[in-house]
Amino acid sequence: MAWSIAEVARMSGVTSRTLRHYDEIGLLPPAWIGSNGHRYYEEADLLRLQQILLMRELDLGLREIEVVLDRQVDQVAVLREHHGRLLAERDRLETLVRTVGRTLAELEEGKDDNDMAKINRPENLFEGFEASAAEAEAEARARWPAQWEQARQAREAMTAEDQERWQREVTAQMIRIAEFMVAGTPVADPAVQSEVHAHYQGICRFWTPNAAAYKGLAQTYVDDPQIRANYDTIAEGLAVYQQQAMAVYADARLN
C-alpha cells in the first residue's frame, strides 16, 4: 500500500514542501514517483518519517539524523531508544504537573493569609525542574571564567559555515567512537584514545582544559540530559563510553 505526498502531509502534519525538501537532500526519498510526477510513500517510508520527527524533537539537525538512520538499520532498536527517552520526558512532565498542582492547592488553601504560609515543604516547589542552558553556562562562567571567555571569543569568531562544518565533524567523530563501542573495544585501546585525542584537540579550539576540567566536561556528557540524549541517539550507552574514554585520556595525557 502506498500513500501520496498529500496524504502523508495530512497524516503527519509535515508540509508537502518539507517532504519534497527531505527527498531533495536524500533524507526521505519516496518509494516511487508516479507518471503524474507525484511522490508516493510506503509503510517503511512512514516509519522513517516517524523516526525523523522523533529526532527533530531531540533537536538533531537533518544531516545528523540522516547519519543516524543510515547507520542504525534496526528500526526496532531505534524506536526502543526513542520510546525510553519519551517515557523519561513523560515522567518529568508528570512530576511538573504534580508540582504545579500541589502548589496551586496549597496556595488556594492559604490565599486568605495573602502569603505562602501554607506551603508546607518549600523544596517541593522545584521538584521536576531541570537546570536551563543559561544556568549551566552561568555555572561554567563562574567556575572557569578565563576559559569561558576564551570559548566565547572563539564561538563569536566562527562563521555559520564554520559552525556547520564543526557540527559535522563532531557528529562524524561520535559515530566513529560509537563503532568502537559496538565492537566491544576497550576505552583504553590506542585506536579509541586516538579519537579522544582528536576530540581534545577540537575542544582546544575553544579552550584548553587540564585533566580535572576535561574529566569534568566528560561527566557532563553523562549528567546533562540533553547531551546524554544526543550521544545515546547515536548508540545507546555512548555517553558513558565517551565519558570513560575521556577520563582515561585525561589521566594518561593531561596529568
User: What CATH number is attached to the domain comprising 27?
Assistant: 1.10.1660.10
C-alpha cell at 231: 550521544
At 212 the pLDDT is: 87
User: What's residue 118's pLDDT?
Assistant: 44
The domain that contains 207 carries what CATH number?
Answer: 1.10.490.50
pLDDT at 9 over 60: yes
- Triad 144, 241, 146: Cα angle to 5°: 10
Looking at the fold, whether 234 and 172 belong to one and the same domain comes out as yes
Cα gap 206→208, rounded to integer Å: 7
| pTM of the shown model | 0.46
Q: Of 45, 71, 97, which residue is a domain's last? A: 71
Among 228, 227, 220, residue whose Cα is nearest residue 246: 220
Residue 89: per-residue pLDDT: 67
pLDDT band at 216 (very low <50, low <70, confident <90, very high): confident
> Between the ranges 34-43, 112-121, 218-227, where is the mean pLDDT highest?
34-43
234 and 206 within one domain: yes
Residues 163 and 47 in one domain: no
From 29-33, 97-101, 168-172, the region with the lowest mean pLDDT: 97-101
In this structure, the number of other CB atoms found within 10 A of the CB of residue 56 comes to 13
- The answer to whether residues 183 and 221 belong to one domain is yes
What percentage of the chain has pLDDT greater than the value 70? 69
Q: Does 145 share its domain with 163? A: yes
Query: DSSP state, 32?
Result: E
How many residues are recorded in the chain? 255
Q: Give me the pLDDT at residue 45, please.
A: 92
Quick one: average pLDDT of 129-157?
60
Max mean pLDDT range (46-50, 76-80, 116-120, 231-235): 46-50
**End residue of a domain, out of 113, 129, 145:** 129
- Say how many domains are in the chain: 3
Residue range 60-87: average pLDDT? 69
Residue 7 shares a structural domain with residue 32: yes
- List, for residues 93-141, the tens digit of each pLDDT value: 676 667 666 666 666 665 555 444 444 444 444 454 444 444 445 555 6
Domain that holds residue 30: 2-71
Q: Looking at the structure, do residues 236 and 189 belong to the same domain, yes or no?
A: yes
The pLDDT value recorded for residue 23 is 92
Same domain, 111 and 140: no
178, 234 Cβ separation under 8 angstroms: yes
pLDDT for 242: 94
* Whether residue 103 sits in one domain with residue 165: no
Do 108 and 201 belong to one domain?
Answer: no
Choose the final residue of a domain: 55, 71, 87.
71
10 shares a domain with 90: no
Q: Is the dihedral of CA 228, 231, 235, 238 positive or negative?
A: negative
pLDDT value of position 167: 72
Same domain (yes/no): 106, 149? no
